[in-house]
Amino acid sequence: MRKLGGIFGVIIGAVLVLGACEKPTPAMTFLRLDPNFGGLQGGKTVRVVGKSIRLDIGYAVYFGKLRSPRVSIQNDKALLAVTPRQWTPGMVDVTIRADNGSVFVVRNGFEYIDQRGQLLDAPQEPQQDP
């Protein structure tokens, strides 16, 4: 009977130890930006879409070498970042730096477009003959 009690004690102890262990959390990742383009003037809010984003830490988002002036956590699947002004059009990597030291890069994640002189969604005036 004594051996049986000792075995049960070991089993119960093992269950308690295993139950107290932390379950692994899924790895945080960043996948894409939505939308993934914007004007050189910056100021556009984009979603940095990911998975298992930690809500208890802060983030800095860089478009190329330029830091976003504002970043906020939308939920565990997305950050919101405002694009900084850029001087040359083209694709840039987007780097996300978490306060816990983790760094993530979305290669060619955002395209800056030169929109000077273009009115988007503006009605076209009819042309008149001279």
Measure the CA–CA gap between 78 and 128, rounded to whole angstroms: 49
Q: What is the pLDDT of residues 24-77, one digit of tens each?
A: 667 999 999 999 999 999 999 999 999 999 999 999 999 999 999 999 999 999
Identify the pLDDT of residue 37: 98
User: In the predicted model, what is the mean pLDDT of residues 116-124?
Assistant: 59
Q: Are 47 and 80 in contact (CB under 8 A)?
A: yes
Q: Indicate the pairing of strand 45-51 with strand 59-63.
A: unpaired
Looking at domain 29-113, its CATH architecture is Sandwich (2.60)
pLDDT band at 85 (very low <50, low <70, confident <90, very high): very high
- Is the pLDDT assigned to residue 12 strictly greater than 90? no
Identify the pLDDT of residue 8: 53
| Secondary structure class of 130 (helix, strand, coil) | coil
DSSP string, 25-86: PPPPEEEEEES-EEETT---EEEEEEES--SSS-EEEEETTEEPS-EEEEETTEEEEEPPP-
Domain extents in the chain: 29-113
Q: Choose between 123 and 50: higher pLDDT.
A: 50
Q: Which two structure tokens, joined as six digits, stand for 125?
A: 């005036």
Cis bond before residue 35 (omega within 30° of 0): yes
Identify the pLDDT of residue 116: 77
Beta partners for 97? 60, 103
Q: Which two structure tokens, joined as six digits, stand for 88?
A: 């040359």
